[in-house]
Structure 1
């Protein structure tokens, strides 16, 4: 089962029943029950807009200075400054970015949350959990939900040929989607995802460095801060009332750093946040394909 928020009821095989929430009311297709008068919270004003260097290494086994004093200092200080400025982490081109759009108020989401936990330890996957807000009216306000996460999902749907947002939904590399309740379906989504072919990325000293690339066209550069640990959240009300839900890689912050135009560029990063990891995505505008990704 998936929860659909749109003007139309979406039935997706092999799902036998769907629950559709409409602006005009609430319709449970599996029980033929409709309650009119439900009012959805307003979305952001514009739903169609979302709120490089090669790998390098340096090995310094030992440094023997025969001449101490000014000559040695003159040689050593610039060298150490250069080493400190080298990228600390370089992007993995084989990475697949899997975004889960979920809600604590969605009774269909716990299996997808569990599947994200299972794939989050894969070295070839960057798993990100975005909590949406459009089910908050059902009795429980998602403690991780943010409107910018909802808008990110809404922006994806036209290119993914979806009639509207729903939960749970997984998106791989910004280009393919699945419900996410079935682990084999999730694994197929990862296997079939278009590979990342964008510019090289590397974390420098408080900056993200993006290399030049022959890829034509501009791309947005997104900063993502997420919690890599498993969180347990007691839910008191709503469809999951009385249960404790588990999530991992919960996104806490999503910011646009700027635009990559194909040339080498770098952007400053905000100060680290305690307990959170940092990821950077280079992505075509308006919910387009992810070209490059990196996480620390």
Structure 2
């Protein structure tokens, strides 16, 4: 696990000091939905390649939605990550803020937004996946609409659209801690857009612009910023 220079501890959680100033396929999943495994990593972090390599393998596992979020707080330490976004860094911080003391570092896994594993501790991630379950409403997507069935809702449930690249993209790193290495990436998140809220009633929402550039789409229903994932769906 790596915490770059510029990270300080506030209230027990490590916080980055860098300022963040045509019809498509029908999607339908059972009520459990896929287990959502989010990896927060950076091409500038020497501890991250084993975690990304594991996520690359996990991307092919049925019943799992593997998502790789590239964070920005390594970008000024020798190498600027080619996929990083302040939005993804903020999402990691939201998890830390919601789960006091969880910390912010790389690599870091979040399983269904409930359990976190710092470092490339693959056995612990596997254990978390094995016991993870979703019990939210059914989600479906057709054309440019997402429908969410009625069910029990928390006070604030957010609906997110995630666009990610399922292909293997090999990036040659020429500087920083991983200088001289070529790191393959899969399921790199390129877009993260909140499209609405869910209050427990049946809901229909409009998707953003159609998918382009070979990106895949997933829908996440989440209990507020940094909260648990309630339900998820994959667009195949």
> TM-score scaled by structure 2?
0.89
Q: Report the Cα offset of residue 6 of structure 1.
A: 4.0
What is the rounded CA distance, in whole Å, between the counterparts of 2:15 and 2:93 in structure 1? 15
Q: Is the 8 A contact 2:141 2:147 kept in 1?
A: yes
Q: Larger relative CO (CA 8 A, sep 6+): 1 or 2? A: 2
The structure-2 alpha-carbon separation of the partners of 1:163 and 1:277, relative to structure 1 and needing over 3 Å to count, comes to closer
Relative to structure 1, the CA distance from residue 188 to residue 161 in structure 2 (aligned partners, 3 Å threshold; closer, same or farther) is farther
| Equivalent in the alignment of 1:124 | 63
* Structure 1 residue 214 corresponds to structure 2 residue 152: yes
Give the Cα separation in 1 of the matches to 2:111 and 2:102: 18
Matched, 1:250 2:227: no
SS of equivalent to 1:151 = helix
Q: Deviation string for 1:77-122 (max 9, x for gaps)?
A: xxxxxxxx9x822024241000000000001101100111121111
Does the CA-based 8 Å contact 1:41-1:137 persist in structure 2?
A: no
- Residue in 2 aligned with 1:205? 143
Counterpart check, 1:41 vs 2:32: no
- TM-score in terms of structure 1 length: 0.72
Task: Name the residue aligned to 2:9.
Answer: 8
Which of 205, 217, 227 is matched with 1:267 structurally? 205
Q: Alignment partner for residue 172 of structure 1, among 111, 118, 122?
A: 111
Question: Among 143, 146, 151, which residue is 2:82 paired with?
Answer: 143
C-alpha distance in 2 between matches for 1:207 and 1:148: 24
Question: Which whole-Å deviations, capped at 9, do the CAs of 1:45-86 have from their partners, x for residues lacking one?
Answer: xxxxxxxxxxxxxxxxxxxxxxxxxxxxxxxxxxxxxxxx9x
CA shift at 1:249, angstroms? 0.1
Partner of 1:161: 100
Return the offset for 1:154: 0.3
| Residue 272 (structure 1) shift | 1.5
Cα displacement (A) at 1:192: 2.8
Kept in 2, the 8 Å contact 1:6–1:164? The answer is: no
Which secondary structure state, in structure 1, belongs to the residue aligned with residue 160 of structure 2? strand
- Distance across 2 between alignment mates of 1:188 and 1:180: 15
Determine the C-alpha separation between the residues in 2 that align with 1:183 and 1:282. 26
Q: Distance in 1 between matches of 2:140 and 2:218?
A: 11
CA distance in 2, matches of 1:163, 1:207: 35
Q: Distance in 2 between matches of 1:259 and 1:2?
A: 35
State the Cα distance separating 1:163 from its structure 2 match: 5.4
* Aligned residue in 2 for 1:225: 163
Count of residues paired in the alignment: 227
Q: Partners of 1:233 and 1:168 in 2: how far apart?
A: 18
> What is the CA distance between 1:183 and its match in structure 2?
2.1
Any stretches of 5+ residues in structure 1 without a counterpart? 10-20, 24-39, 45-84
2-structure distance, mates of 1:163, 1:226 = 25
**In 2 relative to 1, CA 107–88 (structure 1 residues): closer, same or farther, beyond 3 Å?**
same
Does structure 2 retain, via aligned residues, the 8 Å contact 1:218–1:262? no
RMSD, matched Cα: 2.1
The superposition leaves residues 154-211 of structure 1 with CA deviations (integer Å, 9 ceiling, x where unpaired) of: 0001333335310000000011010251321220121233x21111100122111111
